[in-house]
Structure 1
Amino acid sequence: MSGPAARQTRALPIPEGLEGQRIDQVVSRLLGLSRTVAAELVVAGDVTVDGAACASKSDRVSAGSWLEVVLPPPPEDVRIREAEPVEGLDVVFDDDDIVVVSKPVGVAAHSSPGWSGPTVTGGLAAAGYRLSSHGPDERQGIVHRLDVGTSGLMVVAKSEAAYSELKRAFKERRVSKRYRAVAQGHPDPLSGTVDAPIGRHPRHDYKWAVVADGKPSVTHYDTIEVFPGASLMDLGLETGRTHQIRVHFSALGHPLAGDLTYGADPTMAEKLGLTRQWLHAYRLEFVHPTQGRTVTFTSEYPEDLATALARLRADS
């Protein structure tokens, strides 16, 4: 039987853009770790700056300083560990290079610190799919993500060529992702573009917000159906920030129905039977990574969203 996995050390300079930031934020951003894991490493003494251990996760850093982080050991085989059937994970398309799924609500794209629930990668592994070996073990094959509370289409890479090409296509914004959402109220104008930067919420780590120093974020929207007190929207994203649609519509004063985290009316959510935001990734279009042809996939509304929409229409 093999011994425990060796811990790895990452060492790198702190770039100019992170001057004056908290050490837990710096570790999180540079190494792709969650803020919680980054803070735990600081507290455990596994983070040093210029050879000195950090006294607190809120220590501020200077650009050019030398950062060293002793990373937690990886799981022995995360793909085997997380392989678990996922109820409602619908395979829409499958060939030698890609698998397209319609993800149910309550399922993460992949495992991560703090998440012990079902995952797309685990569900596919349990169903016998072998995914690309590129990327960290827990994210192999993953080229984009959907929030746990958002349902809809995802493409996952099976071949190495597909992984590389799809990652490039998403980075270069050559993938068309369309969403449907129900927003409270009636946006004015009924069609338009929200161009507002998104970053961490200044007071709540679990939320995001429109902030001056956030990353550029662009959402295009069209109102396609109007109800008393709500609107069905068709949305396209130029960028793919975490919670982007939810944050942008909350900032407009029209939070998504059922999205209590971002200011939705709980009375309306209860009336519609919603326990999550009304948001569904219903259409995905891209050039097939190895065949060079444009492929388009669509996904029907899941039962909870269809029921809420039917109630809105009945009230009209």
Structure 2
Amino acid sequence: MEELQYIVEAEAQGKRLDVYLTEKLPDLSRSYIQKLIEKECITVEDRIRKSSYKVQEDESILLELPELEELEVSAKDIPIDILYEDEDLVVVNKEKGMVVHPAQGNYHDTLVNALLYHVKDLSGINGILRPGIVHRIDKDTTGILVVAKNDFAHGYLSAQLKDHSMKREYLALVHGNVKTDHGTIDAPLGRSRKDRMKMAIVEDGKRAVTHYDVVRRYKGFTLIRAKLETGRTHQIRVHMASVHHPLVGDYVYGHKKETIKGQLLHAATLGFETPHKGYMIFRTPVHQEFKEYLMKLHRMEKK
């Protein structure tokens, strides 16, 4: 049993208990949080509360998280966008809201469940919960992922991640006017000491480097292309927030009041050497919600 404790921030006052914890624990579904509340695994100031309880500033919330169960992950007929497939790997374009692999509260509706249905054979290096997963992107991040179908391909692709030779570029819409056309953020990342569910820039963290170029400036917003030299958890989100340009929709590291939920971050380009067919590069346009937001900003400029 793992214990997590939170102190309610002033800006969170009045939020439903289940909503507050879902925002704190983005890898857990709201329905799973509600089940934990029903099972009395969550207390507010040492008292059992309902999911609908409105949290108050400075209240202490204690959550007892059950140990992760090593379940057999089942195949499920979930539609996915497969860009390419051969005997070694499959390249997919992940949609917003889909978790990459099973975790607490979501064992059945992940990309892995869909892959087991559509692809069948996946490498076993990462065990039963993460078969074939070479790298991952956040639940609300969209775009390209490469998945290994056998252990040789998995090791071959992972080596390129480790030596930073895999080409990974993201499109992100950030708040504010990024003044320089090009920039690099070199700041180590690790678990936040204030909130262990978040990442932060910490002195003893792992080296993290993000290069960015301005694609277009809008009134109050900037579209950037971010190139990863390293691939730490939440790297682009934390780095851009650290220079006062948080991603639009990122309620974890950015503005608490957003018109959309979930960061506008898209893995647009992925290039790598395949085990047997040479170098390949894949590109995908931003998803519909992202596109519509950009179109809205464009229309506002014309007024």
Q: Tell me the TM-score normalized by structure 1.
A: 0.71
Within 2, Cα distance between the matches of 1:109 and 1:162? 19
1:297 aligns with 282
**Of Structure 1 and Structure 2, which has the larger fraction of its residues in helix?**
1
The runs of 4+ residues in structure 1 deviating greater than 6 Å are: none
User: Aligned pair 1:84/2:84, yes or no?
Assistant: no
2:189/2:232 contact within 8 Å kept: yes
Q: How does 1:215-230 map to 2 (within 5 A)?
A: 215-230=206-221
1:161/1:290 contact within 8 Å kept: no
For residues 62-113 of structure 1, the C-alpha deviation after alignment (integer angstroms, 9 at most, x for no partner) is: xxxxxxxxx97632x32x2xx22334x2000011111000001111221123
Gaps of 5+ in 1: 1-23, 25-33, 35-70
Q: How many residues align?
A: 239
User: Aligned pair 1:146/2:137, yes or no?
Assistant: yes
Within 1, Cα distance between the matches of 2:255 and 2:104? 28
Within 1, Cα distance between the matches of 2:256 and 2:296? 16
Within 2, Cα distance between the matches of 1:294 and 1:73? 39
Q: Which has the larger radius of gyration?
A: 1
Select the residue among 76, 98, 111 that pairs with 2:89.
98
Within 2, Cα distance between the matches of 1:117 and 1:84? 7
| Distance change >3 Å, CA 135–CA 212, structure 1 → 2 | same
- Tell me whether 167-176 or 107-116 shows the greater mean CA deviation: 107-116
Cα drift, residue 190 of structure 1? 2.6
1:107/1:117 contact within 8 Å kept: no
Query: 2:129 is paired with a residue of what secondary structure?
Result: helix
Query: 2:120 is paired with a residue of what secondary structure?
Result: coil
User: Aligned pair 1:133/2:124, yes or no?
Assistant: yes
1:103/1:151 contact within 8 Å kept: yes
Paired residue type of 1:284: L
1:192/1:222 contact within 8 Å kept: yes
1:283 aligns with 269
Cα drift, residue 116 of structure 1? 4.1
Cα drift, residue 172 of structure 1? 1.2
Select the residue among 234, 240, 259 that pairs with 1:249.
240
1:181/1:279 contact within 8 Å kept: yes
User: Aligned pair 1:74/2:70, yes or no?
Assistant: yes
User: Aligned pair 1:195/2:186, yes or no?
Assistant: yes
